[in-house]
Structure 1
Amino acid sequence: MAIAEKTEYRLENLTCASCAMKFENNVKSLSSIKDAQVNFGASKLSFQGSATVEDLEAAGAFDGIKVIPLQNKRIEPQIPFFKRKENSITLFSLLFLIIGSIVSFRYAETHPAAIVLFAVSIVIGGAGIFKTGIKNLVRFEFDMKTLMTIAIIGAAIIGEWREGAVVVFLFAVSEALEAYSMNKARQSIRQLMDIAPPTAFVKRGEELVELPTEDLVIGDVLIVKPGQKIAMDGAVLTGYSTVNQAAITGESVPVIKQSGDEVFAGTLNEEGVLEVTVTKLIGDTTIAKIIHLVEDAQAEKAPSQKFVDKFAKYYTPVIIGIAMLVAIVPPLLGGDWSTWIYQGLAVLVVGCPCALVISTPIAIVTAIGNGARQGVLIKGGIYLEEAGRLNAIAFDKTGTLTKGYPEVTDFIVYGEVEKEQLLSAIAAVESMSQHPLAKAVTTYAHQNGAEKRSVSNFQSVTGKGAYAEVDGITLSIGSLDWAHELSSLPKEASQQGAALQHEGKTVMAIVTGTEFKALLAVADPIREESRSVLRELNEIGIRHTVMLTGDHQATAEAIAKDLNVTDVRAGLMPEDKLIAIKELSDKFGRVAMVGDGINDAPALAAASVGIAMGGAGTDAALETADIALMADDLQKLPYTIRLSRKTLRIIKENIMFALGLKIVALLLIIPGWLTLWIAIFADMGATLLVVLNSLRLLRVHK
């Protein structure tokens, strides 16, 4: 069965989380739509089926929602807070409220002039609320604006004009603050969108032309001057420069780029001129994929958000029921109708689910956006929450805890030997070899000033090593056993060689003619940050760390001991790693797997949270993992867990604030102290607390 194609649009004027839920339901109710989802965090609509922009905007007419095709580039004007239309209306409403209050204190609240001023304040500040609320009331749809409309009309009927005006003003302030906070939380996506320049200088024949990035094709050559941003993903054709990749990977230190190196759209060229061959179209660049994944991640509902949505569904009808009981039952038992209707209206106001509905999404949006800015791509609220509940973390060894390529770690000479001369001769022989470790030896030699030497009669000996003539002298490089056959090794050298092998290193002996000269040890070195990261993980409560590797047991145990890893499993194939993850999950519950996203794919998929190293430019890592560390930087792992834990804590606090303040306000009914302005303060106060508490996540850094 063919899967229906998904259509996506950007949304403007999406002001609140409950409005997003209502708009989503309205779109779903269209006969031509099979399924729809509104992403409140990213202000996006996606649906399966067919619908015109006019149909979609009609579904969002209750809140003035505008629907814009994704491909349309828009420059959103940065309107200052006090110049926004809704904020200006709020200020005018406040002005008439103040004047009305002055008149009412001078004369009486029932004075015609005071009533007119309060009524003007209510109409100015609440016109939008009433328009939506009355429509909802006719359709028996009960949301925040419906409850507010009933409460304000009721307040006017029983003569509480001043309280009605206060409620309208405070509700308008609450909505303005909610819109402002969501805009603040969404800035992370806007910043990502603004990273890549809209145009680029391209070589076309002998000419240099400036073209929009949408017009660039694979194979175009970009000219990127110092101080300019690279417009598209590509490979350096010519030039040498440092490039600041912080926008993509979160790396603070610029990276050297030269011919053949990969570069990313949105990164900043710092020093030299680069010619870059375009390798990806605008929709396929790393930054485009990151934006898409971040937006999708913000749309994914976390377990706590699903709970809140389900709770809110039953919460509003219950509040309406309580309000009716408060307004009707006491008067039937002899109470004053005016007093208890007023109390019932206050219950409606205090029961607005605004703070509850926004409590989880604003925290999720803020955390995922902050992570993206720090070079950590979290692919959904569920993974954000799971990362905060981890009990154990399993690491692939090669390329994760270690650098992933061999390096010379030890060069020990014996007797009277010219170290530099010997190193030059070793480099000359290894330059002829195809052995995987040969490059590590030649790189080390050149880094230590080795000179170029002439080589002849090179010969590789299977299972032993290689030899050649350097300046007429035969130099042999190979295993310790082979060296024993060619020469007599000093006892000290044999012991030293055995000790190096016990550390998990590959040891090579160097013999010139029949005389033993030196030992070379090569290993895949431990990353500099691995020790500090594992120590930090232990400090934040991850007590069980496991190393999973295909290497032999001795090498694995030596590295595990050096790093203080609590468990090691060696000699594993990819399918064995999958079994190990399942065993660890049975034993410890929630387990993360950290790997490279390619050969570790089965284990990454089976773990509670799969974390891929080096997501930048690696499609496999971005697609396979739940979380991608874009800069191949293990130090981002403790940051990710701290961010997740803080998000979990803030979500719980938000739900407590949202419900706690309302419960306290509702309890004021018992002594008859609940007023409309206390009710709206409880609602606004809860919303404000939730918003400000969530924005604390912007301050979580590496």
Structure 2
Amino acid sequence: MNAAVNAPPVPAALLTRRERRHWRLRIVLVLWSLGLLGLAWLLGIAADTLTVERQLLTALAAVLMGGPVMAAAFRSLRQPDLHGVVDQLVALAVIACWVSADFVTATLLPVVMMIGRVLEDRSLLGSREAVEALSNLTTAVARRIDAEGVVTSIDVAALRPGDTVEVRAGDKVPADGVVVDGVASLDTASLTGESLPMEATLGQTVLGGSVSLNGVLRVRVTRVGGDSALGRVVALMQEAERSKPAVTRLLERYAGKYLILVILLAAMVWFTTLNSAAVLALLVAACPSAMVLAAPSTALAAVSVAARHGILLKSSVFLERLADADAVVLDKTGTVTTGQLRVVDVRCEPGVSSDHLRALARALGRVSSHPVGRALAHLSGDDDVVLAEVHEQAGFGMVAMAPQGQVLLGREALFTAHGITCDPAPSHAGPVAGVSEGTRFLGWILLADELRAGVAATLDALRDLGLGRQTLLTGDRASEADRIARLVGIDEVVAGALPHDKLAFVRQLVDSGGRPIVVGDGINDALALRAGAVGIAMGGQGSDIAMASADIVLTGHDFARVATCVRLGRRARRTLQLNLALSAGWTVVLITLALVGGGGSGGALTAAVLQNCAAFGVLASAGRLLRFDERSGVNE
């Protein structure tokens, strides 16, 4: 298999080959045109009699700069948009300059307008730089451990699922995987936005691109290349970069009508005043250069800020929907809770040592793939227990042989089936597992799903933001759902819901005029995520189907990012409204000045310079959005 198959889907360079060739040609034409204008100016100083020569030089400069302008205007006729309106108006202005033999203006006008296009491309490159920075999180070399335990340095593209790699202090984790040995602290801030290091221990999932701060890990690779968490992050950012904000699509719908209106206005000015300078100034002043930048620059800034917080937007469209949200629907397991069981109590039979029971349970848990077993594997205890003939009985538990005889771990029915007498399982909302050794029952272990940190505070923050209707929508039993809802302050609970029930509930909420944010992580949440106004997947440990169905993916485990999404959406909308008002108002002012002032000497060039000032102002306004950082408390 080609190594490129495993490479994350990132661009090879910030500019494509075609874009680089395009800009090189523009730069060459600008240099030649300005050189010809300079030569004509020098000839004018040297001799006043070389008028024809000077005219020929300026005309040649105008042709050099006018060629790309005409080509761009012709291409825009096939698919009119805001860029096309700008290109066509500039082309009309250049044609008017040619007709009036004003070759100097015909040369300088495209040069000045090109500055605005540079500003626009610069804002797009900022998004591409963010994608390239993410791709640089991967390491080029991985330390693979073969079956004999020999460590070999290989290209990371050669890694395959199932390989085991060694990660030392200072190394980057080369691919997604599961820790099979060792303990280390991992810096995941670049991937998840979480500032605190993650403690990686046995059985824990680690993400490619994380940096090991200390310790040595052995990691079994599970995902590589584009299938890894980092690969999916890059793909989502590229998808968001390509998407158009809703307001941009709306403006493009009326772009053709706006162009016709400007042409009619220019024609009216010409027939009433016969002032070509005024017509030129009007055509340039009417270019919506700043408006072209208003929505994309804001959207790209918001997408970059979101990624910095571990929030991946599949499209900038969802920023507007986040700002309008008025309700939130939450899954329980893996969303409100961590989805990982933990031991909350050990109840031993009389005369049974708690340490001995824990040691047996730990040994059985370490060879189990069941969630209960994984939780028991983290119990404290000796590692001296040796097990043989381990069998898992689906739905009942585990059976194994120890030096002291047969050991059992599981439900009450398992012990009854093996003729072992035990007390009834204690009443408990979560899972309960019993342990026996030989013919003696040792005791019960009580487990529970752990509440995710910060959920209650985040829900309070969402209420303050106007998302007052909050529903816990889960397939779990009612008693457990009610318990979790009370802990986090949710009043509305729908328990025992299957995937189609969740879909029906969300659709009913939408049909009644609600605009719900749906937050989930599992396969059974996929339909509901798709049906909500905005679907948010807890991507830290969520299923692939849930992440594919969601509109937004949270790369980490921080539930507080749900409130961050809403605040960022509303901040982005305010910024967009300001940018649209600034660009539209500035264009109206320039058109008014062009009509009142009659253009004057250099009126078109002045209008072009002022248009670039407006474009710079819009970019500066969008740049203020980049200061939004809730990790440090800056969100204004």
Q: Which amino acid aligns with 1:388?
A: A
Task: Say if 2:484 is the partner of 1:559.
Answer: yes
In structure 1, which of residues 618, 624, 637 is the aligned counterpart of residue 549 of structure 2? 624
Measured at CA, do residues 564 and 10 of structure 1 come closer, stay the same or move farther in structure 2, by a change above 3 Å? closer
In structure 1, which of residues 478, 485, 490 is the aligned counterpart of residue 425 of structure 2? 478
The answer (yes or no) to whether the contact 2:30–2:111 under 8 Å persists in 1 is yes
Measured at CA, do residues 117 and 387 of structure 1 come closer, stay the same or move farther in structure 2, by a change above 3 Å? farther
Task: Please report how far the alpha carbon of residue 246 of structure 1 lies from its aligned counterpart in structure 2 after TM superposition.
Answer: 2.4
Task: Please report how far the alpha carbon of residue 288 of structure 1 lies from its aligned counterpart in structure 2 after TM superposition.
Answer: 1.8
Q: How does 1:540-689 map to 2 (within 5 A)?
A: 540-615=465-540, 618-672=543-597, 674=599, 675-689=603-617
Task: Please report how far the alpha carbon of residue 193 of structure 1 lies from its aligned counterpart in structure 2 after TM superposition.
Answer: 1.9
CA distance in 2: counterparts of 1:358 and 1:527, whole angstroms: 40
Superimposed CA distance per residue, residues 380-423 of structure 1 (whole angstroms, 9 cap, x where no aligned partner): 2233332222111100112211232444557999xxx99x9975
Q: Which amino acid aligns with 1:355?
A: A
2:128 equivalent in structure 1: 186
Task: Please report how far the alpha carbon of residue 130 of structure 1 lies from its aligned counterpart in structure 2 after TM superposition.
Answer: 1.5
Q: Which amino acid aligns with 2:113?
A: F
Q: Which amino acid aligns with 1:184?
A: G
2:253 equivalent in structure 1: 310
For residue 171 of structure 1, give the secondary structure of its aligned residue in structure 2: helix
CA distance in 2: counterparts of 1:459 and 1:284, whole angstroms: 39
The answer (yes or no) to whether the contact 1:464–1:478 under 8 Å persists in 2 is no
Q: Which amino acid aligns with 1:262?
A: T
CA distance in 2: counterparts of 1:592 and 1:535, whole angstroms: 15
2:296 equivalent in structure 1: 361
After TM superposition, the score normalised by the length of structure 2 is: 0.75
CA distance in 1: counterparts of 2:294 and 2:56, whole angstroms: 33
Q: Which amino acid aligns with 2:612?
A: M
Q: Which amino acid aligns with 1:567?
A: E
Q: How does 1:218-367 map to 2 (within 5 A)?
A: 218-327=161-270, 329-330=271-272, 335=273, 337=274, 339=275, 341-367=276-302
Task: Please report how far the alpha carbon of residue 213 of structure 1 lies from its aligned counterpart in structure 2 after TM superposition.
Answer: 3.1
Task: Please report how far the alpha carbon of residue 570 of structure 1 lies from its aligned counterpart in structure 2 after TM superposition.
Answer: 2.2
Superimposed CA distance per residue, residues 573-624 of structure 1 (whole angstroms, 9 cap, x where no aligned partner): 2322222212222234211211113221222222222211134684233322
Task: Please report how far the alpha carbon of residue 530 of structure 1 lies from its aligned counterpart in structure 2 after TM superposition.
Answer: 0.6
The answer (yes or no) to whether the contact 2:290–2:611 under 8 Å persists in 1 is yes
2:440 equivalent in structure 1: none
Q: Which amino acid aligns with 1:479?
A: P
1:536 equivalent in structure 2: 461
Q: Which amino acid aligns with 2:324?
A: R
Measured at CA, do residues 342 and 272 of structure 1 come closer, stay the same or move farther in structure 2, by a change above 3 Å? same
CA distance in 1: counterparts of 2:306 and 2:549, whole angstroms: 18
Task: Please report how far the alpha carbon of residue 428 of structure 1 lies from its aligned counterpart in structure 2 after TM superposition.
Answer: 7.0
Measured at CA, do residues 139 and 576 of structure 1 come closer, stay the same or move farther in structure 2, by a change above 3 Å? closer
Q: Percent identity?
A: 25
CA distance in 2: counterparts of 1:242 and 1:595, whole angstroms: 28
Q: Which amino acid aligns with 2:171?
A: Q
Measured at CA, do residues 363 and 456 of structure 1 come closer, stay the same or move farther in structure 2, by a change above 3 Å? same
CA distance in 2: counterparts of 1:696 and 1:122, whole angstroms: 43
What RMSD, in angstroms, separates the aligned Cα atoms of the two structures? 5.0
For residue 200 of structure 2, give the secondary structure of its aligned residue in structure 1: strand
For residue 234 of structure 1, give the secondary structure of its aligned residue in structure 2: strand
For residue 602 of structure 1, give the secondary structure of its aligned residue in structure 2: helix
CA distance in 2: counterparts of 1:593 and 1:690, whole angstroms: 33
Measured at CA, do residues 646 and 444 of structure 1 come closer, stay the same or move farther in structure 2, by a change above 3 Å? same
CA distance in 2: counterparts of 1:232 and 1:438, whole angstroms: 27
1:174 equivalent in structure 2: 116
CA distance in 2: counterparts of 1:152 and 1:642, whole angstroms: 45
2:67 equivalent in structure 1: 131
The answer (yes or no) to whether the contact 1:410–1:521 under 8 Å persists in 2 is yes
CA distance in 2: counterparts of 1:610 and 1:636, whole angstroms: 13
In structure 2, which of residues 311, 328, 331 is the aligned counterpart of residue 376 of structure 1? 311
Task: Please report how far the alpha carbon of residue 552 of structure 1 lies from its aligned counterpart in structure 2 after TM superposition.
Answer: 3.9
Which runs of no fewer than 5 residues in structure 1 stay unpaired?
1-7, 15-42, 44-56, 67-83, 468-473, 481-500, 510-517
CA distance in 1: counterparts of 2:574 and 2:624, whole angstroms: 11
Q: Which amino acid aligns with 2:532?
A: A
CA distance in 2: counterparts of 1:412 and 1:219, whole angstroms: 39
The answer (yes or no) to whether the contact 2:411–2:432 under 8 Å persists in 1 is no
The answer (yes or no) to whether the contact 2:362–2:378 under 8 Å persists in 1 is no
CA distance in 2: counterparts of 1:161 and 1:592, whole angstroms: 58
Measured at CA, do residues 619 and 553 of structure 1 come closer, stay the same or move farther in structure 2, by a change above 3 Å? closer
In structure 1, which of residues 519, 527, 530 is the aligned counterpart of residue 452 of structure 2? 527
The answer (yes or no) to whether the contact 1:350–1:679 under 8 Å persists in 2 is yes
Q: How does 1:1-80 map to 2 (within 5 A)?
A: 64-65=21-22
Which runs of no fewer than 5 residues in structure 2 stay unpaired?
1-8, 78-83, 386-402, 435-442, 631-636
1:695 equivalent in structure 2: 623
Measured at CA, do residues 422 and 239 of structure 1 come closer, stay the same or move farther in structure 2, by a change above 3 Å? closer
After TM superposition, the score normalised by the length of structure 1 is: 0.68
Measured at CA, do residues 172 and 450 of structure 1 come closer, stay the same or move farther in structure 2, by a change above 3 Å? closer
CA distance in 2: counterparts of 1:209 and 1:462, whole angstroms: 45
The answer (yes or no) to whether the contact 2:286–2:590 under 8 Å persists in 1 is no
The answer (yes or no) to whether the contact 2:409–2:433 under 8 Å persists in 1 is no
The answer (yes or no) to whether the contact 1:229–1:267 under 8 Å persists in 2 is yes
For residue 238 of structure 2, give the secondary structure of its aligned residue in structure 1: helix
Q: Which amino acid aligns with 1:197?
A: T
1:389 equivalent in structure 2: 324
Q: Which amino acid aligns with 1:371?
A: A
Task: Please report how far the alpha carbon of residue 222 of structure 1 lies from its aligned counterpart in structure 2 after TM superposition.
Answer: 3.4
Task: Please report how far the alpha carbon of residue 362 of structure 1 lies from its aligned counterpart in structure 2 after TM superposition.
Answer: 2.8
CA distance in 1: counterparts of 2:214 and 2:411, whole angstroms: 47
In structure 2, which of residues 86, 93, 118 is the aligned counterpart of residue 144 of structure 1? 86
Superimposed CA distance per residue, residues 347-399 of structure 1 (whole angstroms, 9 cap, x where no aligned partner): 11122233333332332233223323322121122333322221111001122
